[in-house]
Structure 1
Amino acid sequence: MTKFLLAVHVLAAIVAVGPVTVAASMFPPAARRALATQEDTGATGTLRLLHRICRVYALVGVVVPVFGFATASEMGVLGSGWLITSIALTGLAAVVLGALVLPAQSALVEGRGTANPARLAMVTGLFNLLWAAVTVLMIVRPGSTTGA
């Protein structure tokens, strides 16, 4: 059962988190291009698509921690420091995405002047760094008995 849960957890992370990080990273440069051109060259359509990818895959991404908790429970590592750190970083990444990235993308898509593409690029980079740190912790697992 552990291998099944771990496989679903890893696949969900690849399928759900990957597209969010890529689409979120592509959004600020696309927003800069859209703001630089006065005529609609499809840039707003690109922004809408990237924002939709981020929203949809953010919701799909909820399965990642669900299966992560199930896997950790099966493995008996719920109290491990590396896992607790990963959980905290995952929660922080979710807050950054939900409270900073997605609202700023919405503002830019809707043409509200409250969002700044440079600031969005910065918080998107923070979001991506948080996921990179979680990924490293999942691979390295300090104190792991697997020999990895």
Structure 2
Amino acid sequence: MTKILLSLHVLAAIIAVGPVTVAASMFPPAARRVVAAVPAGAGAGTDPAAAGGAGDVGTVRLLHRICRVYAGLGIAVPVLGFATAAAMGVLGDAWLITSIALTAAAAGILIAFVLPRQEELLEQLTGREPVEHARTARLAMFTGLFNLLWATVTVLMIVRPGSTTGA
């Protein structure tokens, strides 16, 4: 049963978290391309779609939807992770507790900072409002932190420092 749970946990991580990390990383540059598509001096009310950025607005919208949907699917990762850890008898191991804390931090950053900022930028872009470069830069920073936390969790799951499970 442990091998099945571990396989499902790893598959869930790849299928759910992978798309979020990639799409979230692509979102700020895609939003910047929409902003750059509006000609200089065109004014705050200039439609990015009319200025040649229609495809990019659609791309930004799609990237946000991917992040939102796969973030919801990502709930399966810690659920399966807890089941796997219980089956392996490692719930009290330091590497696992650290991984749980980092996973919670990554989820918090995604829910509190990444997704809301994506929504705000998308509303500004579709509402023909000006977007400050600093807003996309902050979103990129939070996205990078989210991705760094997931990369750290992945390393901890593989290396498992101090583990006695034979890794």
Query: Taking structure 1 as the reference length, what is the TM-score of the superposition?
Result: 0.96
* Structure 2: gaps spanning 5 or more residues: 39-50
User: How far 1:99 sits from its partner (Å)?
Assistant: 0.4
Distance in 1 separating the partners of 2:76 and 2:145: 22
Cα deviation for residue 12 of structure 1 reads 0.2
1:31 corresponds in structure 2 to 31
Which residue is 2:150 aligned to?
131
Cα distance in 2, alignment partners of residues 52 and 10 from structure 1: 23
CA displacement at 1:43 relative to structure 2: 1.0
Which of 32, 38, 54 in structure 2 is aligned with 1:41?
54
**Quick check: 1:143 aligned with 2:143?**
no
Paired amino acid for 2:148: L
Secondary structure of 2:161 counterpart: coil
Give the structure 1 partner of residue 45 of structure 2.
none
Number of aligned pairs? 148
Q: What root-mean-square deviation, in Å, do the aligned CA atoms of Structure 1 and Structure 2 show?
A: 1.3
* TM-score for the superposition, normalised by structure 2: 0.85
Query: Which structure: larger Rg?
Result: 2
Other-structure match for 1:16: 16
Q: Distance in 1 between matches of 2:92 and 2:101?
A: 13
Corresponding position of 1:50: 63
| C-alpha distance in 2 between matches for 1:69 and 1:147 | 19
Q: 2:28, 2:151 → 1: CA distance?
A: 19
- CA distance, structure 1, for counterparts of residue 166 and residue 9 of structure 2: 21
Matched residue, 2:79: 66
Q: 1:146: how far off?
A: 3.8
Flag as ranges the 4+ runs of structure 1 deviating above 3 A: 112-115
Whether 1:86 aligns to 2:99 is: yes
**SS at 1:41 equivalent:** helix
